[in-house]
Amino acid sequence: MTEVAMQAPSATTEHDLEALLGDVLREAKAQGASAAEAAISTGAGLSVTVRLGEVETVEFTRDKGMGITVYFGQRKGSASTSDFSKAALRDSVLAACHIAKFTAADDCNGLADAALMARAIPDLDLHHPWTLTVEQAIDLARRCEATALTHDPRIRNSEGATLDSHSSRRVYGNSHGFVGGYPSTRHSISCSVIAEHDDEMQRDYWYDTARDSRDLAAVEQVGRLAAERAVSRLQARKLSTRQAPVLFSADIARGLWSSFIGAISGSRLYRRASFLVDSLGEQLYPESITIFEQPHLRKALGSAPFDSEGVATKDREIIRAGVLQGYVLDSYSARKLGMQTTGNAGGVHNLGISHGELDLAGLIKHMHQGLLVTELMGHGINTVTGDYSRGAAGFWVEGGTIQYPVEEITIAGNLREMFRNIVAVGRDTDCRGNIRTGSVLLGHMTIAGD
């Protein structure tokens, strides 16, 4: 019996990583760099996949890496390595310095301002190693899949159930004197099955993920939901082309907010490649909508005490009463725009959306007639114009109740109009990611079908 504790390799503690990082930064200074920043990480994981009761894969992973960026004035060079030997680390620094000497100067290059560095590293309770044997991991995956396969006789096949557990440790530092790091874990269970009726087959899945394995849904619940979702899609119909209200289930609604964040991200804004250029202070959503970041939520998947440049993270409102309060910037894009970094180098941290009192069932009833979207396909989003067109599947609703599944349709609109057209956000918040949202009801979209 093999017991595995999913934690970063014990031979490389946070103290060890800080020592290596210090060596790298000192080498950069010795080579003449006016400033430098580096990040070092280690990780270890276990992944087990079972299909039709048989073990398909057992994978152990162990990884490490170091990335260094140096500045010679406003010229920049970067290099990386997965070899932690002194010679390899020194060679990486030399390579970054060599690159920098041949790059053009950019007035916006450089470290984030020293005054913005995180002064304290709060414990956000992100590290919960899961000690389990391979046999135990296999058993959990088998129980998940078995529940799905036996839930309904129409479940005839499986794409498998997978259990993943990963632990990592990351340390970042720069020549301002900032050094910070913390360990984290992420565990998940997923299941995908196929339902059949006559000659029709439908596939669906479910999953759960958490920092702490004790917070995961029971594997039997994950399997049951995967089976229920697959069976519910049988005997799907097509729709005629029409305008109708559209309700995005919570797990699908995350993509709407992701498109918004992409549109207000610095790199797109300074390139003027976003439909939300120059939109600060503009009413983008109904007054009922507030969008905010909460980087310090304990155990949350998007929590971080500082961003990837060492800038302290903090709570803030991005949308207040429907009005855009700020962009999503790192230090480079902020300088390009004549602004200050918002502590979002690497992305947003626990984006939250204000919501009403209705859950998904309540929103379906409130919608009365329209389309519930539970799957999206394709990447039909034009970030320059905001035009939105994606393949979809889900359920047609009449009289406030689900009538039948639908497939082979396309939903289309423009994100500006879609944002303004939000009727309600549900309280059925899905916290399985960096964007935490309930279901989202839009007043109308174009549904293209037969």
Residue 4 confidence (pLDDT): 42
Tokens for 346?
């690497």
pTM of the model as a whole: 0.93
Residues 295-346: tens digit of each pLDDT:
999 999 999 999 999 999 999 999 999 999 999 999 999 999 999 999 999 9
Given a contact cutoff of 8 angstroms between Cβ atoms, the answer to whether 437 and 252 are in contact is: no
Residue from 282, 345, 284 nearest 311 by CA: 345
Tokens for 120?
């304290």
Q: At what angle do helices 134-151 and 219-232 cross, to 10 degrees?
A: 30
Given a contact cutoff of 8 angstroms between Cβ atoms, the answer to whether 312 and 113 are in contact is: no
Residue from 183, 170, 171, 178 nearest 312 by CA: 178
Q: Is the pLDDT of residue 276 over 90?
A: yes
Alpha carbon distance 283, 129 (integer Å): 44
The angle formed by the CA atoms of residues 384, 350 and 279, to the nearest 5 degrees, is 30
Residue intervals of the chain classified under CATH 3.30.2290.10 are 3-232
Residue 12 confidence (pLDDT): 65
Residue 11 confidence (pLDDT): 41
Tokens for 230?
């697959």
Q: Cα dihedral angle (158, 160, 161, 165), rounded to 10 degrees?
A: -170
Tokens for 291?
């969008």
Tokens for 247?
């309700």
Residue 10 confidence (pLDDT): 41
- Integer Rg of the chain from CA: 24
Q: 121: Cβ–Cβ under 8 A, 6 or more apart, which residues? A: 180, 181, 182, 305, 306
Alpha carbon distance 14, 171 (integer Å): 7
Calculate the average pLDDT of the chain.
95
Residue 9 confidence (pLDDT): 41
> What's domain 3-232's superfamily in CATH?
PmbA/TldD superfamily (3.30.2290.10)
Tokens for 359?
């859950």
Q: In what order do the strands lie in the sheet with 54-72?
A: 75-81, 54-72, 35-51, 155-174, 179-197, 200-210
Alpha carbon distance 281, 322 (integer Å): 10
- Going by pLDDT thresholds of 50, 70 and 90, the confidence category of residue 15 is confident
- Going by pLDDT thresholds of 50, 70 and 90, the confidence category of residue 6 is very low
What does the pLDDT average to over 48-62? 97
Q: Is the pLDDT of residue 3 over 50?
A: no
Alpha carbon distance 107, 116 (integer Å): 19
Given a contact cutoff of 8 angstroms between Cβ atoms, the answer to whether 44 and 61 are in contact is: yes
Q: 11: Cβ–Cβ under 8 A, 6 or more apart, which residues? A: none
Q: 418: Cβ–Cβ under 8 A, 6 or more apart, which residues? A: 256, 388, 442, 445
Sign of CA dihedral 350, 355, 357, 358: negative
Given a contact cutoff of 8 angstroms between Cβ atoms, the answer to whether 109 and 76 are in contact is: yes
Tokens for 302?
């998007």
Residues 66-122: tens digit of each pLDDT:
999 999 999 999 999 999 999 999 999 999 999 999 999 999 999 999 999 999 899
